[in-house]
Chain A
Amino acid sequence: MRTFKIGGVHPHDNKQFSAHQPITVCPLPKQAIIPLVQHIGAPAQAVVAVGAKVKVGELLAKAGGFVSANICSPVSGTVTKIDATTDAWGAPMQAIFIDVEGDEWLPEIDRKPEIIRQCTLDPKAIIDKIAAAGIVGLGGACFPTHVKLMPPPGKKAEVLIVNGVECEPYLTCDHQLMLEHGEEIIIGIQILKKALGVNRAIIGIENNKPDAIEHMTKLANASLGIEVMPLKLRYPQGGEKQLIDACIGRQVPSGALPIEVGAVVDNVATIFAIYEAVQKNKPLISRVMTVTGKNLAKPGNYSVRFGTPIEEVIALAGGVPADTGKIIGGGPMMGRAMDHIEGMPANKRLSGLLFMTEAESVRPEEENCIRCGKCVQACPMGLEPYLLSRMAELEMYDELEKHDIMDCIDCGCCVFTCPAHRRLLDGIRPGKAKVGAILRERAAAKK
């Protein structure tokens, strides 16, 4: 069975809590808070004014640049304010506040349950629809999808790689989506293949989801040019570069994009959103989130409209468990621990909520580095985390650049594996940010 070639770790997958829980639709909130930044790139620009009446699917904010994404209204009601608020990590963010009134959708959105298989649009029209719907990568990076579908001149996509890996422990939303909406995902893949002009697609799924592998294989066999590739369980297989290596054995060079090796990668949830946008005219207004944790009463997979305060989702899952120490937005390897949950809305970025007990939340004390080299063995990018973290502490930015700090993908394998519990990334992350800033300055000076 295939996997990526360098590094990687085996965290306990802990998916048993929410695996196979059917997707439950979360009720509409009274007030929706819609952040203007739910993607990588420039913030979206609000196109509605305070007092405006909006319907579900109506454009609220348009992409604020080439790398940016539209934001469509997930609810119907009245815009009450467009104001700054703080996100779950204490940073300021602009958001549109809507008082929800009923659930009135734009008439062109097809809300019937029938699956629509035919797609007669040309590639340009498909990409336009994806851009209009505000679709971003739902696997975690939130990169605007339409940008990926327009390769730079001279580059040609050869293969579409579909990310059904879900290598983050605890998360099960993609797994459940494949089981419940596999057919729509297959249609979405065919649409994407057409948009990219490729005739081959590979769905990568880790072997801890045998039912998803079986289900998707059956569906793929009935379709043309799609194969399912079972992958050996290993983190971070869902990382774009690792997944391409695992599926087609090509390694994207340092600093390059997947298109360099002829690949385009999209997550299954993103592809489901593409199906809905292209075939049903439904913009990206909701997503499936995994709400889970050892002591949570009703862990499960919830379909949540963006803007819904996460407290309402948590209430649906049985409320915050008594001994919660950490609440993590996303999974335990790359997710971010939240400072507070009050007034925090669900959004495109939020793939899950994980409640960790107090005992699980405390980081053990750091010990001396014993130079065991386990971080070097674990690093999927072939870097030397022990060295990078030390250089970052000493602010040796030239050396950091020479030692390829910009290749770090933030996966956390080094910290996960360190027997001395060293917090290597606490140094590497700011070091990488600083080197990135230096590189940008240098590029600007050249111009």
Chain B
Amino acid sequence: MKQLIVAPAPHAHSGDSVRRNMLLVILALLPAYVVSVIEFGWGALITAAISICACVLTEWCISRFVLKEQKMTIGDLSAVLTGLLLAFNLPSNLDWWIVIIGAIVAIGVGKMTFGGLGQNPFNPALVGRVFLLISFPAQMTTWPTPQGFGGSYVDAETGATPLYYLKHIVKAGDASVIDQLPSLMDSFLGVMGGSLGEVSALALIIGGLFLICCRVITWHIPVAIIATVACFAACTGLAGALPEGLTTGEYVAYELLSGGLMLGAFFMATDYVTSPMSAWGKIIFGIGIGFIVMVIRTWGNYPEGMSFAILIMNACVPLLNKIRPQRFGEPKKA
């Protein structure tokens, strides 16, 4: 009889794979991407294509020529996802060469220097984005207004985002720009200026719920972030910091629906590699992000702080991983 295969148990597997998880996240991003293409037209298509290609190529070159790896990790789709997420965080009219620089920094500095997938302490796409934000502040903060395929890619009409106005309203107590804010319905659907993939809260929530249903991510991080932001905004409103013409409820809704909040909460903060392992770790991680983003939005110099908030909390992950999950048979914590 031929030789039998001997291996330790278990002899069955769920069939889950790294590739499957990455693919599901990419699928979950598609609704938001469709909205983006409808609104920003060619800009959305070109920026995403450049970003994805540049990320994959950077990873391939580094593993091939620098690390001299035998086995390529391109097939696990993680570089494709990083590229897509980076594009989602960029204005759709960004010059092509800036996109490429962002991709090289994201993969080269954010991921491969630490040893590739699974080793990086910071979310690579956000490393790329924040690098660009600091290096090219002007280009990174002029967002095209939604014009679909009618508008041209480079010389699109640009405008400030709702967060810019919100900050002005709250910080300066200036009620005169309230009518510059898009309607709440427009904010929810995404008919407003902003980074390529972050505009439609509705599409992002659909994608996020899809990921939770497929058990790719758990509810802990998004719920913690959204709840913290809502509480913080509500407190600001109740403390009387809002000028007349903007109710607390409206303010909370604008904070939740604007900027990178939904994209960050469902897709960026939940990145496996850079988020904590245990349920309580995830909840504290989410609360931290929600708190930091509101501090930056309210008192900081930048109108938006989601990227910074996530990166700062990424740095806390090793500490948060000291929180143990609830052991079987252990008296209940908290």
Q: Write the residues of chain A forming the contact surface with B, with a CB cutoff of 8 angstroms.
A: 6, 9, 11-12, 89, 169, 241, 245, 251-254, 256, 320, 324-328, 332-342, 354, 356, 358, 360-364, 367-374, 376-377, 379-384, 386, 403-404, 407, 410, 412, 415-421, 423, 425-426, 429
Taking CB atoms and an 8 Å cut-off, the chain B residues in 206-242 that contact chain A are 218
Please list 30 pairs of residues, one from A and one from B, whose beta carbons are closer than 8 Å in the complex, sorted by A's number. A241-B328, A253-B330, A254-B328, A326-B4, A326-B5, A326-B7, A333-B12, A334-B10, A337-B6, A337-B7, A337-B9, A354-B11, A367-B73, A367-B117, A368-B118, A370-B18, A374-B16, A380-B328, A382-B326, A383-B327, A384-B277, A384-B278, A407-B327, A410-B9, A412-B9, A412-B10, A417-B16, A419-B20, A419-B21, A426-B8
Which of B13, B76, B274, B330 has the most chain A CB within a 10 Å cutoff?
B13
Contact A340 B326 (CB under 8 A): no
CA of A361 to CA of B8, assembled, Å: 11
Q: A376 is contacted by which of B5, B274, B277, B328 (Cβ under 8 Å)? A: B277
Determine the distance from Cα of A407 to Cα of B277 in the docked complex, in whole angstroms: 19
- B171 touches A (CB below 8 Å): no
Q: In the complex, what residues of A have CB within 8 A of residue B9's CB? A: 328, 332-337, 410, 412, 425
Of A89, A253, A419, the residue contacting B329 (CB under 8 A) is A253
B1 at the interface (CB under 8 A from A): yes
**Contact partner of B330 among A11, A338, A340, A382, CB < 8 A?**
A382
Q: Is A339's CB under 8 angstroms from B328's CB?
A: no
Q: Which residues of B contact A328 (CB under 8 A)?
A: 9, 11
Alpha-carbon distance between A412 and B21 when the two chains are bound, in angstroms:
21
Q: If A356-B11, A384-B277, A407-B328 touch, does A368 touch B116 (CB 8 Å cutoff)?
A: yes
A417 near B14 with CB under 8 A, answer yes
Instruction: For A419, list chain B residues within 8 Å (CB).
Output: 16-18, 20-21
A9, B20: Cα distance in complex, Å: 18
B5 CB contact (under 8 Å) in A325, A368, A381, A415: A325
Closest to B282 in A: A373
Bound-state CA distance A404–B326 (Å) is 12
Query: A376–B327 contact, CB under 8 A?
Result: no
Q: Which of B1-39 contact A (CB under 8 A)?
A: 1, 4-14, 16-18, 20-21
In the complex, chain B residues 162-210 whose Cβ is within 8 Å of any chain A Cβ: none
Distance of A7 Cα from B46 Cα, bound (Å): 44
* In contact, B218 and A327 (Cβ under 8 angstroms): no
CB distance from A406 to the nearest CB of B (A): 12
Residue of B nearest to A404 (CB): B327
Known: A382-B325, A383-B327. A338 touches B10 (CB 8 A): no
Question: For residue A9, which residue of chain B has the nearest CB?
Answer: B14
| A-side contacts of B57, CB under 8 Å | none
Report, nearest first, the 10 A-B pairs whose CB atoms are least far apart: A412-B10, A368-B118, A372-B272, A373-B277, A382-B327, A332-B12, A251-B329, A332-B11, A419-B16, A253-B329
Number of interface residues of B (CB under 8 A): 39
Structural contact, B329 and A252, CB atoms closer than 8 A: yes
Instruction: A403 to B13: give the CA distance in the assembly, Å.
Output: 25
Is B273 among interface residues, defined by CB-CB distance under 8 A? yes
> B118: which of A336, A342, A362, A369 is its contact (CB, 8 Å)?
A369
For B8, give the chain A residue with the smallest CB separation: A426
**B135: chain A residues within 8 A (beta carbon):** none
B324 at the interface (CB under 8 A from A): yes
Alpha-carbon distance between A251 and B324 when the two chains are bound, in angstroms: 18
Report A-chain residues with C-beta under 8 Å of the C-beta of B116.
368
Is the pair A251, B328 in contact by a Cβ cutoff of 8 Å? yes
**Complex Cα–Cα for A384 and B329 (A):** 15
Which residue of B14, B17, B325 is within 8 Å of A416 (Cβ)?
B14
A367 in contact with B76 (CB, 8 Å): yes
In the bound complex, how far is the Cα of B78 from the Cα of A332, in angstroms? 31
B59 nearest CB across to chain A (Å) = 13
Q: What residues of chain A lie closer than 8 Å to B247, measured between beta carbons? A: none
CB neighbours of A356 from chain B (8 A): 11
Residues of B within 8 A of A383 (CB): 325, 327
Query: Which residues from A are CB-within-8-Å of B78?
Result: 370
> Which of B12, B277, B326 is close to A6, meaning CB atoms less than 8 Å apart?
B326
> Contacts A371-B273, A376-B277, A415-B10: A338 and B4 contacting too (C-beta < 8 A)?
yes
CB distance from B111 to the nearest CB of A (A): 11
With a 10 A CB-CB cut-off, give which of B12, B14, B273, B325 has the most chain A CB atoms: B12
Q: Let me know if A6 and B328 touch, CB within 8 A.
A: yes
CB distance from A169 to the nearest CB of B (A): 6
Structural contact, B278 and A376, CB atoms closer than 8 A: yes
Contacts of B158 in A (CB 8 A): none
Residue pair A376, B325 in contact (C-beta under 8 Å): yes
Tell yes or no: B119 within 8 A of A by CB.
Answer: yes
Residues of chain A lying within 8 A (CB to CB) of residue B328: 6, 241, 245, 251, 254, 380-382, 407
Cα distance, A376 to B283, chains bound together (Å)? 15
- B311-331: CB near A (< 8 Å → 1, else 0) gives 000000000000011111110
Assembled-state Cα–Cα distance A361/B326 (Å): 34
Q: How far is the CB of A71 from chain B (nearest CB, A)?
A: 26
Contacts of B4 in A (CB 8 A): 324-327, 337-340
A410→B73 CA distance, assembly (Å): 31
Q: Which of A335, A337, A373, A421 contacts B13 (CB 8 A)?
A: A421
Contact of A368 among B13, B117, B278, B325 (CB under 8 A): B117
Nearest to B327 among chain A residues (CB) is: A382
Q: Which residues of A contact B273 (CB under 8 A)?
A: 370-371
The answer to whether A386 touches B325 (Cβ under 8 A) is no
Which of A324, A371, A374, A415 counts the most B-chain CB atoms under 10 A from its CB? A371
Alpha-carbon distance between A420 and B18 when the two chains are bound, in angstroms: 6
Whether A373 pairs with B278 at a CB distance below 8 angstroms is yes
